[in-house]
Structure 1
């Protein structure tokens, strides 16, 4: 996971919520193309996604950072302490990490992961987890390259729009 392009990553502001919501909707559709039929995808309105990201940014739950290409938001990451029951206070979680499809493979995801890792370390976390769809090879490959390891016993079926998908928890040390 290397790139010759460097992206500025900064904390999101309330003004970024609309762009983050648009990017989230676009990227979800593209990343599940060929995995889930378009008519079976979860439908979340632009307004609802924007409200979610505004609240997340306002209350830092999760912490949200954006990757910039000039003045354009080309990716975002949300991270905080783990939401999984029974995890120690030192376990962080990447709640969401998305790069615009036009920027896939160009280092945006790596820049966002680096920012989340640094933020989690500052929060006192020593490990990090995330949940990823098993059928999404691009997502699994990215996290494999970022050093995450699959926890096979955690595989579960979850509702996703009109269908169900298999997810698995991935973990790694933060050092």
Structure 2
């Protein structure tokens, strides 16, 4: 189901949210790399953050966005440029029936604090509801207080469940947040 372009509640900003298209691949990769490098120093190994390759990530996004399957990410657009994205859908973990997952929300650091993360989060939450999910969850890196604060401001709560993401060395501890969509 296609979301309507949602306008930013801040009248001083020309932001909106729409579905991603294949041509957005480079902007999504840039938002991911810049957001991670700004949010995760001291949380994720510096060598890993430095090794993130925008071109390689862009290629993966182009491949993913070029397929006609699955939910396409939402993108935040500011002054005609894609500045961030939010991805969600079928849970990747074993979950109760009726549960969806918010996989990622990344925004260029220059756009932090302007309401665009809120726009992405609110539209993704509404889209999960439209997809028929009654609850949703996300994983957030331990120590990413900025993200946790955003989620909590919009009704998500820390469930007390933790896991370790073994893709990182050392493993990255993550907290599970959830929301009731009913």
Aligned to 1:131: 139
Which residue in 1 is equivalent to 2:165? 158
Equivalent in the alignment of 1:49: 57
Aligned residues: 172
**1:78 match:** 87
Structure 1 stretches of 4+ with a deviation exceeding 4 A read none
**Aligned-pair distance for 1:160?**
5.1
Matches within 5 A, 1:22-171: 22-41=30-49, 43-57=51-65, 58-88=67-97, 90-152=98-160, 154-159=161-166, 161-171=168-178
Greater strand percent: which structure? 1
**Please, what TM-score do these two structures have when normalized by structure 1?**
0.87
**Distance change >3 Å, CA 143–CA 42, structure 1 → 2:** farther
Separation in structure 1 between the aligned mates of residue 9 and residue 42 of structure 2, nearest angstrom? 27
Query: 2:44 touches 2:168 (CA, 8 Å); kept in 1?
Result: no
Cα separation, partners in 2 of 1:40 and 1:52, compared to 1, 3 Å: closer
Structure 2: stretches of 5+ with no match in the other structure: 1-7
8 A Cα contact 1:43 1:161, kept in partner = no
* RMSD across aligned positions (CA): 2.1
- Matching residue within 4, 8, 13 for 2:21: 13
